[in-house]
């Protein structure tokens, strides 16, 4: 069953990227909120501190995974002709993964410029 789920033409891939994005978003916002309450970096450090660095790493790692999944679905879509069910799923999956990658990068980028707990 897991093997079937992992195939890029499985319908789960139409939402997998967006689910990963959602989990990343929860981790980003939740992590920031909890860290600011418990162990906030000093204001003098500005945007360069352990918290922002961790959030940036998380963002880049998530974006990387999502881009890899995009490429995987895109390649799978090319293997199918016309308007087959598999092609639709793989194309939509590629689009969803790709959008999620871009969304993670855009939403996460402010960590390079803003102090976290101000």
> Judged by CB under 8 A, does residue 15 bind another protein?
yes
Alpha carbons 32 and 50: distance in angstroms, whole number: 11
Backbone Cα Rg of the chain: 18
Min. distance of Cβ 73 from another protein in angstroms? Answer: 11
Give the residue among 98, 102, 80, 100 at the shortest CA–CA distance from 89. Answer: 80
Distance CA 117, CA 85 (A): 47
Q: Does 48 bind another protein (CB under 8 A)?
A: no
Among 69, 76, 96, 101, binds another protein (CB under 8 A): 96
- Total residues in contact with another protein, by rule CB under 8 A: 39
Does residue number 111 form part of the binding site for another protein (CB under 8 A)? yes
Contact residues for 92 (Cβ-Cβ < 8 A; gap 6+): 14
Interacting residue ranges for another protein, rule: CB under 8 A: 11, 14-15, 18-19, 21-22, 25, 28-29, 32-34, 36-38, 52, 83-85, 88-89, 91-92, 95-96, 99, 103, 106-111, 114-118
């Amino acid at each position: 069953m897991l093997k079937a789920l992992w195939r890029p033409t499985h319908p789960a891939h139409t939402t997998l990227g967006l689910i990963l994005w959602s989990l990343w978003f929860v981790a980003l916002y939740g992590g920031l909120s909890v860290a600011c309450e418990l162990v906030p970096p000093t204001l003098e450090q500005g945007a360069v501190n352990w918290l922002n660095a961790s959030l940036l790493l998380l963002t880049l790692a998530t974006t990387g995974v999502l881009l890899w999944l995009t490429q995987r679905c895109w390649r799978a879509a090319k293997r199918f002709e016309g308007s087959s069910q598999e092609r639709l799923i793989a194309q939509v999956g590629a689009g969803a993964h790709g959008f999620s990658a871009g969304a993670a990068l855009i939403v996460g980028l402010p960590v390079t410029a803003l102090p976290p707990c101000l």
